[in-house]
């Protein structure tokens, strides 16, 4: 009994010593994302692009040497939260970032807020945090959760689809997505179905779709869910009768790779595409492909931008990271060349930017890629900003 | 003498096998009623149904004028119907006194005590000591049940049943696996006990049966083929033919 | 609600149920014969899927890959039996539960080290489209294949258990372990064999479901509990019970998820129906189990008297 | 006896001094971490009550912990922050659930009992997963911890730690009393020889059920504390593998021993933390990713304990089921 206690006490003492050793002149980033399981490709792309940006920057962010602590939330909110707890309280990071999925992020970032650590979101941007619960420590780098879906709704209306069937996972981002679609879609909603988050077999849902006979089918199924759904959608023979529409990430490189030719001709909406013609994007796409031997997805673009944004802010405040207000102002100024082209932060710290329509086709080398066709929205913000009390 | 236990047309099947076939018998107050029969005759099955660990398919069991057929085993124990097992079933890690005190506890008030240490209840232990003396284990009181000699374990087995203060004791082969000397000890114990308690005795040791029993019922293939005083059973042709023959001759 | 929809959902339920049967069959035999609770059964399912995904890729042929994965998993199962599980037969259930739970942890990490946390497995291109079953009712060819394979394996298992000498021993063992032990002949080898067959069935399920689900670490953990539900419903040790239980669970689960929310919508206020529908549907099979337990505590087809 | 008392006092003193030392060293993270460990110690101790003392191999204990967490979490989310309402409600809800699950599953035994407790617990997992009103699989984030009153702020890590420590001590003392009281003797007897316990007149089913319910209720308390600790509740708390982890804690610490659950929780969680945070350099050189595979070690240790050191599993329910 005594010995065991002694051993434990020694263990804790050891832990303490190890933890209290920290340097001052560097920037510490806590990066938590979904890095394993069927939806891992998303988090991996964000991580790879983020670390690529740091690498291209000589291992620095804003002139300070960058230490990036990486954690895998395993697609589990409680694991994500525990990692946030550790990074914020034990490792005392300067910024937290990385989460792909809204639910995991929502469970985790209160830890950051309470400890006045800024969370820079490379992907998830749920509607509550845009409106009533907007938070000075939250920056959405990518796009408001509704935006792609609003663009998709707009597109479906323009195409004149009379009825559309909607499927999304049963969680905040799922609700946001279908809400966004409906906001701009003028046709009839055939049905609106919420599935289990992480569900992989869609036989039952596909049978319902067939029975409902809609003209179009809009799905918000990120990661492995979308990959499985599209495969099973093609296998069911529905692709002949029903036009599938997805948000940009729903038919990006991470889905194209496993699904293959079945993706050809699929329309989607996005704030970024491989073929965006600006220097930052050209450099990013080339370097990413060189480093990882694959084409970047929209998630990679978001991760890259996130690193660039932090870089710009750290440089702006000249490394004085303890002045949180100054860091915030610097982040909000967004003085960097984004791979998406021009964008700016709204007062709720969500982006105002353009959204485009893309189609899956072949590039010069015969690879399946998304090609930009048209602009759907220009300088588009979000519908919740008026509820945000922040200035 | 009035009947303490009355069994009416009891029946039990296991799949297609008839284990208890329309058994009816009475046990009078104060008597030792032996239940004999060849292996597989259904004696243990019958005891299990009387004690309540096995539900009969049909028939009824009346104990002391009350229908106990639907009562659970523990309720029958509280009504005064206790049993011992053919294969010793005691609390092997507890001492003799702890074994017996537990049985005393079972009948003395509620056991939903969550706070007061049971060790502070001297009444339980005192009574357990009395029973230990009764079964001849006073000098082994603090030995764990599992460490007792076989004969002592059999005595404790009976003691556990006795500690519930039964009015009818069901003894399932109390002398199983015993040498002659140890058997004498159990026979002596039954002799003492019978003064206050009625006994149903299942036993293969015919000497013991004929020495102890007031009446005997013979069970063959799940059926009672004869009931009577020892001399009647000894003289019964059917019993001799079906079962007793060899052993009676060899005895 | 059209008949075609109901028919299609029933086929989906049958497909799921048959795969559950493959898992439950091995599990129930191990229970019945060895009185052993094996939580690591789901790990064999995972292993089978990983083997299949790897071998399909390596050989370039779906059929060949799957066919090779089956003996590979069976071998792994038998190795496990000889190395670890054999010593557990005589132990109490707590030891069995703990040891096999430990095996789950070990299997998960070993797979993670060898393969990573997940693999992609693609269905054969020829079967990736639909088949016209009835006019107006196309059905995915691959799911039909699963149903076919499930039925074939069930039939094979029936012949094996009902018509062969080994099957006779297995049945005897499941209904009366002491008798099986008394027969004495190579009982140890019989156990190993049964375990291998159980593992092979896991591999079939894992390999067939691989392209539909994801081949990933932990994939066996949720489905294992459903296999338990199947066994409790069907009765421990009974292959027939496992089949009936599995199809019942598969049907109830699929049909419940598909129609319960709509059914609730017919006679409940919509906001309540949309909340209660999915909630009840998700626990429907467990409620079924509770009902069966209440009515027939030994399951629908108890192997022991 | 004296050595034991000394060890007890030393352990208590260390537990009381720990947060003050950490506070002095500006390492509040470890106070929060220790609170979590102690809460799991409560959960494991409650499982020990049914597993070790009662001899029932309940594989669904996470359901009671999770239910307690949800009930207290839902109340806090709904504005009822008082711990004096939330925690008793959590305990009561878990007790009621334990009553229902126990009443159904205790009619069976052996492998059946294990499977049925497992299945019913998993049912709760899926139920909470689909309860959109309470967060569904997203879980429920809370804005604050429960409020205790009396000027005690549970939002303060050190205060919270002491409350958890007090709860653990209270539970262990109550367990100690219970084990030596009439009820404890009866469940010990049932664990040792169920048939005989019934045959001397104990209503075995009822006592087992009561034991099951008490353990469930104590699990509910752990859940309520957990909800406040993390300010977050999710269905993964109810997943069956969580029950397995609790079981591992109890086995590591000692089945049926008063300190078993607590010791096992401390051991397992501290070990997990050390492996993940402080890799051993030479081992890292051989296997660079080994901290990510800590469960491999846990699994192997468990397997070895079960296979080769069964006597280490003290108080084990050693009887094998007979038909």
Can you give the residue range of the structural domain that contains B233?
1-80+167-178+190-251
Is there a contact between B85 and D203 if contact means CB atoms under 8 Å apart? Answer: no
At residue A18, the pLDDT reads 44
> Would you give per-residue pLDDT tens digits along chain D (323 residues)?
578 889 889 999 999 999 999 988 888 889 999 999 999 999 999 999 999 999 999 999 999 999 999 999 999 999 899 999 999 999 999 999 999 999 989 988 888 899 899 999 999 999 998 887 888 777 888 888 998 888 889 888 899 999 999 999 999 999 999 999 999 999 999 999 999 999 999 999 999 999 999 999 999 999 999 999 988 998 989 999 899 999 999 988 888 889 899 999 998 998 888 887 777 778 777 777 777 788 888 898 889 888 876 654 444 333 333 33
In SS3 terms, chain C reads as CCHHHHHHHHHHHHHHHHHHHHHHHHHHHHHHHHCCCCCCHHHHHHHHHHHHHHHHHHHCCHHHHHHHHHHHHHHHHHHHHHHCHHHHCCCCHHHHHHHHHHHHHHHHHHHHHHHCCEECCCCCHHHCCEEEEECCEEEEHHHHHHHHHHHHHHHHHHHHHHHCHHHHHHHHHHHCHHHHHHHCCCHHHHHHHHHHHHHHHHHHHHHHHCCCCCEECCHHHHHHHHHHHHHHHHCCCCHHHHHHHHHHHHHHHHHHHHHHHHHHHHHCCHHHHHHHHHHHHHHHHHHHHHHHHHHCCCCCCCCCC
Over chain A, what is the mean pLDDT?
Answer: 87
Q: Which of A14-18, C107-111, C189-193 has the highest mean pLDDT?
A: C107-111
pTM recorded for the entire structure: 0.89
**What pLDDT does A255 receive?**
85
Say what the alpha-carbon torsion angle B124, D182, D260, D97 is, to the nearest 10 degrees: 160
Are B225 and B244 in a shared domain?
A: yes
Residues in chain C within 8 Å Cβ distance of D300: 102, 106
Q: Kindly state whether residue C132 falls inside one of the protein's structural domains.
A: no
Is the pLDDT confidence value at B59 over 90? yes
* Nearest C-alpha in D relative to C85: D307
Question: C226, C21 in Cβ contact below 8 A?
Answer: no
Q: Read off the pLDDT band of C179 (50, 70, 90).
A: low
Closest CA to A81 of A71, A91, A68: A71
- Alpha carbons D44 and D253: distance in angstroms, whole number: 9
**CATH for the A21-143+276-345 domain, from 3.40.50.720, 3.90.1170.50, 3.40.50.2300, 3.40.30.10:** 3.40.50.2300
- What is the pLDDT at residue C182? 64
CATH architecture of A147-270+356-380: 3-Layer(aba) Sandwich (3.40)
A107 and D267: CB-CB below 8 Å? Answer: no
- Longest Cα pair distance anywhere in chain A, in angstroms? 76
Query: Tell me, what CATH number does C211's domain have?
Result: 1.10.3470
SS3 A296: coil
What CATH code is carried by the domain that includes residue B74? 3.40.50.300
Chain B residues lying within 8 Å of D182, measured CB to CB: 105, 110-114, 116, 118, 121
- Tell me whether residue B17 is in a domain: yes
B112 and B3 in a common domain = no
| pLDDT at residue A15 is higher than 70 | no
CB B1 within 8 A of CB B198: no
Is A341's Cβ below 8 Å from some Cβ in D? no
Residue B70, judged by CB atoms within 10 A of its CB (0-12, 13-18, 19+), counts as exposed
Considering the domain boundaries, does residue C5 fall inside one?
no
**D228: CATH:** 1.10.3470
Residues B41 and B154 placed together within one structural domain of the fold: no
In 3D, which of C194, C201, C258, C190 has the Cα closest to residue C227? C201
User: In the 8-state DSSP scheme, what is residue B70?
Assistant: T
Facing residue for A37 by CB, picked from C12, C16, C216? C216
Total residue length of chain A: 391
- From B162, B245, B193, B160, select the one nearest B32 (Cα to Cα): B193
What part of D 278-307 touches A (C-beta under 8 Å)?
A: 278
**DSSP state for residue B15 in the 8-state scheme:** T
Residue carrying the six token digits 């692009």: A49
Q: Do the beta carbons of residue D235 and residue B105 sit within 8 Å?
A: no
CA distance B172 to chain D (A): 13
Both B161 and B238 in one domain: the answer is no
Which of C3, C6, C12, C281 to mutate: most A Cβ within 10 Å? C12
A19 shares contact with chain D (CB less than 8 Å): yes
Would residue C124 count as lying in a domain? no
Do B72 and B103 belong to one domain?
Answer: no
Beta bridge partners of B7: B25, B61
The CA dihedral of C167, C173, C179, C180, to the nearest 10 degrees, is: 70
Would you call D107 an interface residue with chain B, using a CB distance cutoff of 8 Å?
no
End-to-end CA distance of chain A: 59
B38 and B71 within one domain: yes
Residue B208 region by backbone torsions, left for phi larger than 0, else alpha for psi between -120 and 50, else beta: alpha
Report the pLDDT value the prediction gives residue C180, as an integer from 0 to 100. Answer: 60
Ordered by start, the domain boundaries in chain A are: 21-143+276-345, 147-270+356-380
> B220 is written with which tokens?
């063959």
In a domain, B195, yes or no: yes
Q: Which two tokens stand for residue D300?
A: 């192997």
pLDDT tens by residue, C132-173: 888 878 889 999 999 999 999 999 998 888 888 878 777 776
Which residues of A sit within 8 Å Cβ distance of C? 36-38, 40, 170, 194, 200-201, 203-204, 207-208, 210-211, 224, 228, 231-232, 234-237, 258, 262
Q: In what helix (H) or strand (E) does residue B168 lie, and over which residues does it extend? A: strand B168-172
> Quick check: A16 and D230 CB within 8 A?
no
CA D207 to centroid of chain Cα atoms: 21
User: ipTM score of the complex?
Assistant: 0.87
Q: Output b/e per residue, B144-179; b: 16+ Cβ within 10 A.
A: bbeebeebbbbbbbbbbbbbbbbbbbbbbbbbbebe
Q: How many CA atoms lie within 13 A of A229 on its CB side?
A: 30
Query: How does residue B238 score in pLDDT terms, banded at 50, 70 and 90?
Result: confident
**Which residue range forms the structural domain that includes residue C46?**
12-119+139-295
Chain C residues closer than 8 Å to A207 by CB = 5, 8-9, 12, 258
Domain contains C2: no
pLDDT digits (tens, 9 = 90+) for C195-237: 999 999 999 999 999 988 888 888 898 899 999 999 999 988 8
In this structure, are B61 and B8 located in the same domain? Answer: yes
Inspect the interface and report whether the beta carbons of D207 and B111 lie closer than 8 Å.
yes
In chain C, the number of structural domains is 1
Interface test with chain C among A44, A191, A200, A204, by most C beta carbons within 10 Å: A204
**Looking at the domain assignment, is residue B62 inside a domain?**
yes
Range of the domain at D140: 3-322
- DSSP-assigned states of every residue in A154-204: HHHHHHT-SEEEEEEESSHHHHHHHHHHHHH--SEEEEEEEE-TT----HH
CA distance A169 to A220: 7
Residues B69 and B108 in one domain: no
Provide the chain C residues 237-256 that lie in CB contact (below 8 A) with chain A: 254
Residue C128 lies in a domain: no
Q: Is the pLDDT of residue B137 over 50?
A: yes
Number of domains in chain B: 2
Radius of gyration of chain A (CA): 21
Is A94 a residue whose pLDDT tops 70?
Answer: yes
Same domain, B134 and B155: yes
Of D111, D116, D255, the CB nearest to C31: D111
What whole-number distance in Å separates Cα of residue D132 and Cα of residue C140? 32
Nearest Cα of chain A lies from the Cα of C175 at a distance, in angstroms, of 37
- Could you report the per-residue pLDDT of A117-172, keeping only the tens digit for each? 999 999 999 888 998 889 999 999 998 988 889 889 999 999 899 999 999 988 77
- Token pair 């089921």 in the structure block, residue: D321
- Please tell me the distance from the alpha carbon of residue C258 to that of residue B145, in angstroms, as a whole number: 60
**The domains spanning A21-143+276-345 and A147-270+356-380 adopt the same CATH topology:** yes
CA D158 to CA D25: how far, in whole Å? Answer: 13
Q: Are residues B13 and B130 in the same domain?
A: no
Containing H/E element for B2?
Answer: none
Distance (Å) from the alpha carbon of D201 to chain A's nearest alpha carbon: 39
Cα–Cα distance for residue pair C129/D37, rounded to 1 Å: 52
Compute φ and ψ for A30, nearest 5 degrees. -95, 120
pLDDT of residue D313: 44
Residue in D6, D232, D235, D241 to test binding to A, most A beta-carbons within 10 Å: D232
Q: Is B185 a domain residue?
A: no
């Amino acid at each position: 009994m005594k010995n065991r206690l002694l051993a434990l006490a020694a263990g804790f003492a050891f832990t303490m010593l190890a933890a209290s050793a920290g340097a001052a002149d560097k920037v510490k980033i806590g990066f938590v994302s979904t890095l394993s399981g069927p939806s891992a490709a998303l988090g991996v792309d964000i991580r790879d692009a983020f670390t690529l940006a740091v690498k291209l920057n000589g291992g620095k962010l804003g002139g300070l040497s960058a230490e990036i602590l990486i954690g895998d939330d395993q697609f589990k909110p409680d694991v994500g939260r525990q990692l946030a707890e550790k990074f914020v309280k034990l490792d005392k990071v300067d910024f937290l970032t990385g989460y792909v999925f809204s639910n995991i992020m929502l469970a985790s970032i209160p830890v950051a807020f309470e400890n006045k650590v800024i969370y820079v979101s490379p992907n998830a941007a749920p509607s509550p945090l845009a409106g009533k619960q907007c938070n000075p420590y939250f920056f959405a780098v990518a796009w408001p959760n509704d935006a792609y879906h609003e663009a998709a709704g707009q597109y479906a209306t323009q195409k004149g689809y009379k009825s559309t069937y909607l499927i999304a996972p049963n969680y905040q981002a799922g609700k946001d997505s279908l809400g966004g679609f409906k906001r701009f879609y003028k046709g009839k909603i055939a049905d609106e179905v919420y599935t289990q988050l992480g569900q992989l077999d869609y036989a039952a849902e596909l049978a319902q779709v067939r029975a409902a006979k809609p003209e179009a089918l809009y799905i918000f199924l990120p990661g492995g869910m979308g990959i499985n759904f599209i495969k099973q959608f093609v296998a069911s023979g529905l692709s002949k009768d029903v036009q599938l529409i997805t948000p940009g990430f729903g038919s990006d490189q991470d889905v194209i790779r496993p699904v293959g030719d079945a993706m050809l001709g699929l329309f989607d909406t996005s704030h970024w595409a491989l073929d965006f013609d600006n220097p930052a994007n050209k450099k990013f796409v080339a370097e990413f492909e060189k480093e990882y031997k694959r084409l970047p997805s929209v998630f990679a673009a978001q991760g890259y931008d996130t690193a660039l944004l932090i870089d710009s802010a750290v440089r702006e405040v000249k490394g004085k990271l303890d002045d949180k207000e100054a860091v915030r102002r610097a982040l909000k100024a967004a003085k960097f060349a984004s791979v998406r082209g021009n964008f700016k932060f709204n007062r709720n710290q969500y982006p105002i930017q353009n959204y485009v329509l893309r189609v899956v086709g072949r590039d010069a080398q015969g690879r399946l890629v998304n090609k930009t066709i048209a602009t759907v929205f220009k300088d588009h913000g979000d519908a919740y900003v008026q509820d945000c009390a922040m200035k | 003498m009035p009947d303490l236990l009355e069994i009416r047309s009891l029946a039990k099947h296991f799949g297609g096998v008839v284990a208890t076939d329309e058994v009816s018998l009475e046990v009078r107050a104060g008597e030792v009623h032996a239940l004999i029969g060849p292996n597989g005759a259904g004696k243990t099955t019958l005891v299990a149904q009387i004690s309540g660990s096995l539900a009969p398919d049909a028939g009824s069991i009346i104990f002391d004028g009350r229908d106990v057929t639907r009562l659970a085993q523990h309720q029958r124990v509280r009504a005064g119907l206790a049993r011992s097992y053919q294969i010793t079933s005691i609390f092997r890690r507890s001492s003799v006194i702890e074994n017996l005190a537990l049985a005393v506890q079972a009948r003395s008030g509620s056991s939903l005590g969550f706070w007061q240490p049971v060790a502070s209840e001297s009444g339980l232990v005192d009574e357990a000591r009395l029973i230990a003396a009764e079964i001849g284990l006073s000098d082994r009181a603090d030995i764990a049940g599992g460490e007792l000699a076989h004969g002592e374990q059999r005595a404790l087995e009976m003691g556990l049943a006795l500690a519930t203060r039964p009015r009818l004791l069901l003894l399932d082969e109390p002398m199983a696996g015993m040498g002659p000397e140890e058997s004498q000890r159990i026979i002596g114990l039954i002799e003492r006990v019978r003064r206050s308690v009625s006994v149903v005795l299942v036993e293969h040791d015919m000497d013991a049966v004929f020495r102890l029993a007031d009446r005997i019922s013979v069970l063959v293939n799940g059926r009672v083929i004869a009931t009577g005083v020892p001399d009647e059973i000894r003289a019964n042709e059917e019993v001799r033919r079906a079962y007793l023959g060899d052993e009676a001759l060899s005895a | 609600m059209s008949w075609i929809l109901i028919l299609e959902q029933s086929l989906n339920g049958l497909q799921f149920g048959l795969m559950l049967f493959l898992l439950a069959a091995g599990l129930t035999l191990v229970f019945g014969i060895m009185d052993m609770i094996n939580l690591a059964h789901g790990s064999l399912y995972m292993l089978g899927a990983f083997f299949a995904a790897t071998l399909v890729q390596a050989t370039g042929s779906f059929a060949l890959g799957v066919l090779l994965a089956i003996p590979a998993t069976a071998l792994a199962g038998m190795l496990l039996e000889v190395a670890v599980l054999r010593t557990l037969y005589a132990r109490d259930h707590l030891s069995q539960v703990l040891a096999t739970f430990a095996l789950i942890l070990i299997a998960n990490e070993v797979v993670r080290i060898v393969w990573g946390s997940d693999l992609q497995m693609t269905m054969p291109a020829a079967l990736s489209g639909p088949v016209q079953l009835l006019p107006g009712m196309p059905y995915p060819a691959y799911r039909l294949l699963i149903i076919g394979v499930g039925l074939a394996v069930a039939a094979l298992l029936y012949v094996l258990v009902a018509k062969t000498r080994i099957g006779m021993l297995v049945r005897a063992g499941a209904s009366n372990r002491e008798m099986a032990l008394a027969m004495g002949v190579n009982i140890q080898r019989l156990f190993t064999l049964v375990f291998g067959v159980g593992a092979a069935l896991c591999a079939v399920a894992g390999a067939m479901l691989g392209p539909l689900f994801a081949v990933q670490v932990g994939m066996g953990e949720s489905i294992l509990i459903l296999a338990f539900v199947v066994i409790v419903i069907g009765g421990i040790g009974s292959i027939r019970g496992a089949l009936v239980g599995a199809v019942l669970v598969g049907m109830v689960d699929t049909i419940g998820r598909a129609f319960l929310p709509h059914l609730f919508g017919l006679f409940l206020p919509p906001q309540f129906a949309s909340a209660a529908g999915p909630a009840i549907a998700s626990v429907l099979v467990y409620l079924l189990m509770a009902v069966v337990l209440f009515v027939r505590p030994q399951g629908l087809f108890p192997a022991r008297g | 006896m004296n050595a034991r008392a000394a060890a007890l006092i030393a352990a208590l003193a260390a537990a009381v001094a720990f947060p003050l030392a950490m506070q002095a060293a500006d390492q509040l993270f470890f106070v929060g971490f220790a609170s979590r460990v102690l809460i799991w110690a409560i959960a494991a101790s409650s499982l020990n009550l049914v597993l070790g003392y009662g001899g029932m191999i309940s594989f669904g204990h996470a359901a009671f912990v999770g239910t307690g967490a949800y009930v207290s979490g839902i109340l806090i989310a709904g504005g009822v922050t008082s711990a004096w309402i939330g925690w008793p409600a959590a305990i009561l809800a878990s007790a009621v659930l334990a009553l229902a699950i126990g009443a159904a599953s205790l009619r069976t035994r052996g492998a059946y009992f294990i499977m049925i407790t497992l299945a019913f617990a998993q049912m709760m997992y899926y139920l909470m997963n689909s309860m959109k009103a309470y967060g569904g699989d997203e879980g429920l984030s809370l804005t604050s911890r429960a409020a205790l009153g009396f000027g005690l702020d549970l939002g303060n890590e050190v205060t919270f730690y002491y409350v958890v420590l007090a709860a653990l001590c209270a539970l262990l003392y109550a367990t100690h009393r219970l084990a030596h009281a009439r009820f404890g003797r009866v469940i010990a007897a049932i664990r040792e020889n169920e048939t005989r316990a019934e045959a001397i007149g104990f209503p075995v089913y009822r006592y087992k059920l009561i034991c099951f319910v008490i353990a469930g209720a104590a699990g509910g308390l752990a859940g309520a504390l957990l909800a406040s600790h993390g300010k977050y509740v999710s269905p993964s708390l109810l997943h069956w593998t969580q029950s397995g982890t609790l079981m591992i804690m109890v086995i590591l610490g000692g089945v049926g021993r008063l300190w078993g659950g607590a010791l096992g929780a401390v051991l397992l969680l501290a070990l997990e933390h050390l492996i993940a945070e402080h890799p051993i350099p030479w081992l890292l050189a051989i296997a660079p990713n080994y901290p990510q595979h800590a469960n491999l070690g846990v699994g192997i240790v468990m397997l070895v304990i079960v296979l080769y050191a069964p006597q280490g599993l003290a108080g084990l329910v050693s009887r094998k089921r007979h038909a």
